[in-house]
Structure formats: structure tokens, C-alpha cells
Amino acid sequence: MRLWIREPEAAAAAQHTRRNPFLPDHALDDAIRVTADMDAALAGAGLVLLVVPSQFLRRVAKDVQSRLAAGVPVLVCSKGVEVETGCLMTEVVAAEMPGRPFAILSGPSFAGEAAEGQPTAVTIAAGSRETILDPLAARVAVTLGTSTFRPYLSDDPTGVEVGGAVKNVLAIACGMAAGRGLGSNPRAALIARGLAEMKRLAEALGGQRETVTGLSGVGDLTLTCSSEQSRNFSFGKALGAGMTAEEALSGKSAVVEGVVNARSVTALARRLGIEMPICEAVQATLDGVLSLDEAIHGLLTRPLTAEPRALEPVVKVPHPAADTAPPTILDGIPADRPAA
């Protein structure tokens, strides 16, 4: 078993100290060899896990493809939407690794707790609804499953991916609310209505709404929106307490995916004509277009709508407090909105 780390110094230190720099509190198993040499890491591999920040996946996938033997599957563990293209992670892999079998892993899984052997459940998706469940999902599940790590199988990679990308943005929103001193009611509302945004985007991309109610959607959403172990929640909490984005990110070695995903998810939603007001509010706050108080007030005073999906398009009632709200982008995206 091999672990590839891009920086030679970090790889050498991890091999020597038996500590992963991104998970320093847990010793690496003696069977794991750490290297910065990608050729050495991939030699003879039977399965490759791609665990890199979403915006670097394309480059890494291209490098892996040129070195990996034909037919060896990859498991995509990155979560997000590529900024430049609006592609999901599996679309990036399909483009850069043509003909390569792949599956995707997502779900509520803080790495530290999984490393401690705490019970953890995730989703592994491969194939599509047009075919029988891809056997690759089952093969990967059997490979990774342990007495404490339980994978579930899915034939909806798109739905699984949408949950993993959008939850990062919603976790920032929940963190902002917590940092602002708001209580449990706002967090519950953000989680529930954020889930509705996930469902809309998943369906628009060809995924299944029901997938988003599983581990990779509501499971991961609940986890990241409820714990300061979540980098995205902690970042949002710092913003809510008055820090700038630069101050909140200062000194962090790990990537806060929600910062990038807020931009990529909202851009994708606009292109598809999907309403995602909470994600829009997060991005507008990060851009400085709205203050946090303006974003909160804008969300609360949007026209009143219905929850059942069948009624969503036909019920829209003006909010009684709307005349007290400042100008907002949350009820429509103006063409002249400042660029990020």
C-alpha cells in the first residue's frame, strides 16, 4: 500500500515520522509506504484512490492516467465542482482518463474519526440507472469495508457527487450563523432548505432526489453543518464572528473546499436555471456583495413559497417584511452582478 504526496519534503518526513501531515494525530500503518514519486506509487497498483482538492483533480488525474496500467480502476474521493468548467469530479476523471473504470466515494466521514476506528458509513457509487448496479462499486466496497467502516452501494454517481459538493457551501452558511450568535432554529432551517437546494441541482444534472436523502447528501450535510471539526463550518463561524475571509483562512494547511465550491456551485446552478438562494447568499457574502446581516435578511424575506415539490413552481407570495429588506441578489441574479 502506497501513499503519494506531491511535495518531496512532506513525503520524506511522513515516511520517516510515520505521520501524515494532513492527519498528524494518527500514526501511519507500517504497511504504508509514503513517496513523492508517482511512478513508484502506481507501480503494480490494483486500485487508485484520488484524494486531492477538487480544483487539482484534473491535473493529477491526467498524470495518473499516463502512468497507470490499463484497466486499473480509480476511486474518486474528491468533492466539488470544477470552477473553470462546471464539471463534477467524475466528469473530470472521464475526460482525463478515457476508458478508465471509476467509482466515487462520499459520505459523512471525518478522517480523524475513521482513523480512530469509530463507526463510519459512506456511499460508493458507480454505473448509472440505465444499467444493473456496476460490480465495481461492490468490488471497492469489499476492498475497503471493515468492522467499523461500512460502505453502501449506489448506481447514482451524480446524486452522490452533488451532495458532496453542495454540503461544503451549506456548512459555511451554518458556520456563519453560529459565529453570528444564532441558535439551533436557524441551523435546522439552513440544513432542511439546503437539502432542497441539493435535490434541485441533483435532479437538474440527471441524478436522483432520493440519493440526496442518503449518506452522501443529508448524512454528510448533517455532519459538516454541526461540528467544528468541519473546516467549512469553522471557516464560516470565523466569518460570522467578524473575521475577513483572508483572516479566517490564514495559517490553514488544509483546503476549505466550500470557498471554491460556493463559486462553482452557484455558477453551475445559474447556468441550469436552478434556484439555490442559500448558496447564492454564501457566495455574495464571500464576494463582499452583501454583508452577513443583509444576506440573512434577504433569505428570510424572499417571497413565501411552498415546500412540496409540486407546488414550488406555482406558489409565490410576497413576504410582508420584504419592504424592509435592502436590495438583494437573492430573488434573482442581475446581469451586472460584480464578478468574484
Q: What is the mean pLDDT of residues 309-318?
A: 79
Instruction: Judge whether 215 and 121 are in contact, CB under 8 Å.
Output: yes
In tens, the pLDDT along 239-273 reads 999 999 889 988 766 778 999 999 999 999 999 99
pLDDT tens-digit map of 92-150? 999 999 999 999 999 999 999 999 999 999 999 998 765 656 789 999 999 999 999 99
In whole numbers, what is the pLDDT of the chain averaged over residues? 91
Q: Report the share of the chain in percent with pLDDT over 70.
A: 92
Distance of CA 269 to the CA centre of its chain: 15
Residue-level pLDDT at 319: 84
Distance CA(239)–CA(152), nearest Å, equals 35
**Can you give the pLDDT at residue 337?**
45
Selecting among 79, 167, 199, 237, the annotated active-site residue is 167
CA angle centred on 244, ends 193 and 54, rounded to 5°:
60
Q: Which three cell numbers stand for residue 233?
A: 463550518
Q: Which residue has the higher pLDDT, 177 or 319?
A: 177
Q: How confident is the model at residue 276 (pLDDT cuts 50, 70, 90)?
A: very high
- Of 292, 257, 303, 295, which is closest to residue 278 (Cα–Cα)? 295
What domains are there in the chain, each with its CATH number? 2-156 (3.40.50.720), 159-324 (1.10.1040.10)
Residue 336 confidence (pLDDT): 46
- CB contact at 8 A, 257 and 183: no
Could you tell me which residue, 338 or 281, shows the higher pLDDT?
A: 281
Q: Residue 300: its pLDDT value, please?
A: 93
**Rounded distance between C-alpha atoms, residue 287 and residue 284, angstroms:** 5
Q: What is the pLDDT of residue 325?
A: 53
Give the pLDDT score at 253.
63
pLDDT at 313: 76
Active site residue 79: no
Q: How confident is the model at residue 307 (pLDDT cuts 50, 70, 90)?
A: confident
Predicted pLDDT of residue 312? 78
Q: Using the predicted structure, report yes or no on whether residue 329 has a pLDDT greater than 90.
A: no
> How much of the chain, in percent, has pLDDT values that exceed 90?
79
Q: Which residues are CB-contacts of 146 (< 8 A; sequence separation ≥ 6)?
A: none
**pLDDT given for residue 165 in this prediction:** 94
Which pLDDT score is estimated for 112? 92
Whether 335 has a pLDDT exceeding 50, the answer reads no
**pLDDT (tens digit, 9 = 90+) per residue, 11-47?**
999 999 999 888 889 999 999 999 999 999 999 999 9
